[in-house]
Amino acid sequence: MVGDPNAAVRAYLNDFVQRPTPGFAVLLAAPWGAGKTHLIRRLFDGNKANVLFVSLFGAKDEEGARNIIARELLGGANASKNIDLWNKAAGPLKKFTGLDLHASLSDVARLFPLPDTIIFDDLERSDLDENVLLGLINVFVERDGKKVILLANEERLWKAGHDQKEKIVGQTLRLVADVDAALPTFIDELPEPTQAFARFEIDTVRNTFTSSEYHNLRSLRQALFDFHRLYSVVRADLRDCADGMRELLRLFLALTLEVKKGALAEDDLRLRDGIDFNRKPEFEALRKAARKYDWEMVKSGRHGAVLNGALSARIICGGQVDAEALNQSLIASERFLRPEEQEWQTVCWAERRDPDAVSEAFGRMEQRFIDREYTTPGIILHVFNNKLYARKIGLNAKSRNVVEKECHDYIRDIASAGKLEGLSPDKAHDFDESGYGGLGYPHYREGDPTNPDTEMFWKLHDLLKKARVDLFNAGLVGVAHCILSDLSKQDVEAVAARLWRSAKGKQGDLRYVAVLMHADARLTAATIARLSGPTLHSFGYLMKERFSSPVKELDEEVEWLRTVISPLKAEAKNRRKANPVHAWQIDALIRHSLEPVLANWG
């Protein structure tokens, strides 16, 4: 901690207020948020009775400014209410007394003596003309002999070379944002346990603020309050990781201050998930920020960062603190060493772990691999990657071909044992290609797509994906039977929730999966024919919505639909004599819903 950078300012102000009638005003100049108001209020803490604080924020003219001054002199907002009440009573009193007792704030204020010192704040945030403002100040300085202190961002206040200003403002003092003085107060305002953590990491806060070159203490205070929202939802076991939490605090403050300063925007934060190849111009703001803090993580939110780009944008710019997403991000970060770290994770972070711990973890991972214990697809892929990568670091002496066969066998075995989850073909393109838990896969980590291990990994990746899709497709016959079962119960809403969307608007999991083609056409026709009139109508609407836009994923299902229409017409014909209305309803379903689908699809 350095000495008080504003010691000379405090000394001058102390001397100024001791003078009987200085004859000039003092301007305390600093950018917004640098702590002008904070310094002045602390300076006069012991002598508030002889000081009048006036914010001219929003004053539009001289009369408005005088009313603001009068209101503060008479005790703030309550004074205005009391005057209004008095004036409401003045009308009836005039009828009885003949006297006009109406009064304004300024009228009443003249009855009260002014304190020795008047402090005007937010001058640049008023709409007062410069000459009007200076004339108002001059009245208090020369006529009333008061000690006037002005708090303002001078760059936003005076025009260059304003002669009148030089006559009235006799001294301009430059305030430095004193983070050492302000930080303890800011931290004391935080709730526990964030307060204790911030107090322990006060050097991290101070150094990050200094690196930001943004001398706005108000923004720092706001950033600390925002950090409390994060800290309060971080899991207790993750809070115990001092290095990880320090990095989270540092990154959050750096990005937040850059956003508040206007150096970064929401799109910039999202761009942290991208790759800055060939110095793309859109990355320039992030590059500048990374140079300022001498920290690459400011620019990159990819594999292993405590906050990725999308998450940092949602939290900092959108104010959305998702506890689950935040904790998952921290768990995936290499900065958080956790007691429950799994063996495959230790091997994944081999470069940053104790060598003996890595060797021991690799042995446990191999045993779990032999026992076919890994069933989560993303973890399986990391284990495959680790087995290939272990060859490079001397842990695995097996050839690449042997590793490939072991991984092939692993996929076959867990699929046949029912341990592997199926994957819908329409979601296969979203198959976790950025890496389970945000850890990244080899072409991200190695950066070399020609690496034979990388090529082998992606072959295994695609093989696992195909196995999952095959499992999903193999189960579609059973799914189709379940859909027919729901339909036979007249439950079109349940069918719609899977084939189109739920009553709450959520897209069905089978929206673009040709599942109906696995149902027997005659059984389907018989099931439809047994639907009630209202249910038939709802089913027809569902079919039109499901096939409203031609997509290749449903081509086979449309061909299947052609095979349903003929037996459905036969069902209607068989009912025409016994129940002509119901037969007509079935015919209407065919004419107005099913046949138009076929016509539009072709």
Confidence of residue 149 (pLDDT cuts 50, 70, 90): confident
Strand order in the sheet with 117-121: 51-55, 117-121, 147-152, 25-29, 169-174
What is the spatial distance between Cα 435 and Cα 422, in angstroms, rounded to a whole number? Answer: 18
pLDDT of residue 372: 94
Cα–Cα distances (Å) from 43 to 15, 254, 384, 459, in that order, read: 12, 31, 65, 70
pLDDT-wise least confident of 46-55, 138-147, 187-196 = 46-55
- Specify whether the CB–CB gap between 438 and 330 falls below 8 A: no
Cα–Cα distances (Å) from 440 to 158, 349, 445, in that order, read: 55, 11, 7
pLDDT of residue 442: 62
Q: What is the pLDDT of residues 461-498, one digit of tens each?
A: 889 989 998 998 888 999 999 999 999 999 999 999 98
Average pLDDT over residues 570-598: 94
- pLDDT exceeds cutoff 50 at 368: yes
- pLDDT exceeds cutoff 50 at 95: no
Q: Which residue has the higher pLDDT, 204 or 429?
A: 204
Cα–Cα distances (Å) from 194 to 200, 226, 233, 241, 595, in that order, read: 10, 11, 11, 14, 65
Q: Which residue has the tokens 């150094």?
A: 207
Q: What's the burial of 32, exposed, middle or buried (CB within 10 Å: 0-12/13-18/19+)?
A: middle
pLDDT-wise least confident of 94-108, 270-284, 464-478 = 94-108
pLDDT-wise least confident of 62-71, 105-114, 215-224, 548-557 = 105-114
Domain 7-74+112-176 -> CATH class: alpha beta
pLDDT of residue 346: 87
What is the spatial distance between Cα 19 and Cα 149, in angstroms, rounded to a whole number? Answer: 13
Confidence of residue 77 (pLDDT cuts 50, 70, 90): very low
CA 47 to chain centroid: 44
- Specify whether the CB–CB gap between 301 and 308 falls below 8 A: yes
- pLDDT exceeds cutoff 60 at 97: no
- pLDDT exceeds cutoff 60 at 85: no
Q: Which residue has the higher pLDDT, 429 or 567?
A: 567
The values of phi and psi at residue 170, to 5°, are -85, -20
Cis peptide before 339 (omega within 30 of 0): no
Q: Determine what percent of the chain is predicted with pLDDT higher than 70.
A: 81
Average pLDDT over residues 554-566: 93
- Residue 314 zone, left/alpha/beta (φ > 0; ψ -120 to 50; rest): alpha
Average pLDDT over residues 192-199: 91
Write down the domain spans for the chain.
7-74+112-176, 180-332, 344-474, 476-601
pLDDT of residue 432: 54
Which range, 92-101, 173-182, 404-413, is most confident? 404-413
Confidence of residue 287 (pLDDT cuts 50, 70, 90): confident
- pLDDT exceeds cutoff 90 at 408: yes
Confidence of residue 76 (pLDDT cuts 50, 70, 90): low
pLDDT of residue 50: 75
pLDDT-wise least confident of 143-152, 200-209, 311-320, 426-435 = 426-435
Q: What is the mean pLDDT of the chain?
A: 80
Whole-model pTM above 0.85? Answer: no
Sequence-ordered list of residues with C-beta below 8 angstroms from that of 353, at least 6 positions apart, any chain: 346, 361
Q: Which residue has the higher pLDDT, 412 or 164?
A: 412
Sequence-ordered list of residues with C-beta below 8 angstroms from that of 92, at least 6 positions apart, any chain: none
Cα–Cα distances (Å) from 257 to 194, 223, 268, 299, 469, in that order, read: 19, 7, 14, 14, 46
pLDDT of residue 516: 93
Token digits of residue 596: 């138009």
Confidence of residue 565 (pLDDT cuts 50, 70, 90): very high
